[in-house]
Amino acid sequence: MKFFVTDLLPANLKSNPLTYFCNAPELDVSSETFSFKPFSVVSLAAEISEVKFPSEKLLGKQAEFLFEHVLNQSTAYQLLASNVQIHGEEETLGELDYLVQDAKTEEVLHVELACKFYLLDEGLGSDLIQQWIGPNRKDRLIDKLEKLKSKQFPMLFAPETKAVLDSLAIAATHVEQQLCLKAFLFLPKGVKRNALPENFRKCAVGTYITPSEFTEHPTAQYAFPQKKEWLLPPAQLSNWYTYVDALVHLKKCMHERRSPLVYKKTESALEKFFVVWW
């Protein structure tokens, strides 16, 4: 089973970071226990132009930068406020990611943004929602959703938030809350993407393997993007290695207990996978 990064985008859009981000898969996790609707920017891709990729920022801040640029260029939404800090008497209580107005309905939305890379580990729980974890086993999807549900979304209704909303002439009771979850999901080799529910299946962009499964291909080239490059279109990656050089780099990553993202490029395909240290 192979997953192709290039399947995600039309051929003429593969090198624009903003368009690449727009078209990145979005995971709909709305359910009876998580009632927040999904917010999508995929349909906004046609409206946007080039932007200089913020390579100096951390991945989460890169996602915020790109997301905000998408909203600012869109005719479908008006960005009212972003990264709204909510202060208590002595400390910052939290923030609202985005307050957005739908240009057509004039409805105000409170949108939380998350951009995550998760690997499927079926040993983490009996429910699929429990089985997604970061490549270095430091971050779980279920924990992120719980934080959104218990802390981030309720912040809209905190007494300390009212003054901020009043300054924007917004009533919290008239605001709909939505989640934009850009999710890049990776499956163990041998697990079929078609076995997943549709909302997870459309976010499955690659696999993950162990070092022993990193086998040689006679003509392949390999790239090891740093985390700050994970949101770059692969066409913009400049450092590609032969298998021998890639193996040296991989051994270094394993020694550091770090699971690298790898692109494998051949004449016919571009594959995307993690090599895990655990």
The predicted pLDDT at position 14 comes to 55
Report the C-alpha gap between 138 and 69 in whole angstroms.
29
pLDDT digits over 86-130, tens only? 998 889 999 999 999 999 999 999 999 999 999 999 999 999 999
The predicted pLDDT at position 11 comes to 46
DSSP the chain: ---BGGGGS-GGGTT-HHHHHHHS-B-----SS--PEE---GGGGGG-------TTS-HHHHHHHHHHHHHHH-SSEEEEEEEEEEE-SSSEEEEEEEEEEETTT--EEEEEEEEEEEEE-GGG-SSGGGSEE-TTS--BHHHHHHHIIIIITGGGGSGGGHHHHHHTT--GGGEEEEEEEEEEEEEETT--GGGS-HHHHTTEEEEEE-GGG----TT-EEE---GGGTTS-GGG----B-HHHHHHHHHHHHHTT---EEEEE-SS-EEEEEE---
The predicted pLDDT at position 107 comes to 98
Query: Parallel, antiparallel, or unpaired: how do β-strands 204-209 and 108-120 relate?
Result: unpaired
The predicted pLDDT at position 2 comes to 45
Q: Which residue has the tokens 């016919």?
A: 268
Would you say 95 and 151 are in contact if contact means Cβ atoms under 8 Å apart? Answer: no
The predicted pLDDT at position 31 comes to 93
Report the C-alpha gap between 203 and 225 in whole angstroms.
20
How many residues in total does the chain contain?
278
Would you say 185 and 118 are in contact if contact means Cβ atoms under 8 Å apart? Answer: yes
The predicted pLDDT at position 173 comes to 96
pLDDT digits over 32-66, tens only? 899 999 999 999 987 777 788 999 999 999 999 99
Please tell me the pTM assigned to this model: 0.93
User: Can you list the residues of the chain whose pLDDT is less than 70?
Assistant: 1-14
Q: CB within 8 A of 158, min separation 6: which ones?
A: 86, 93, 94
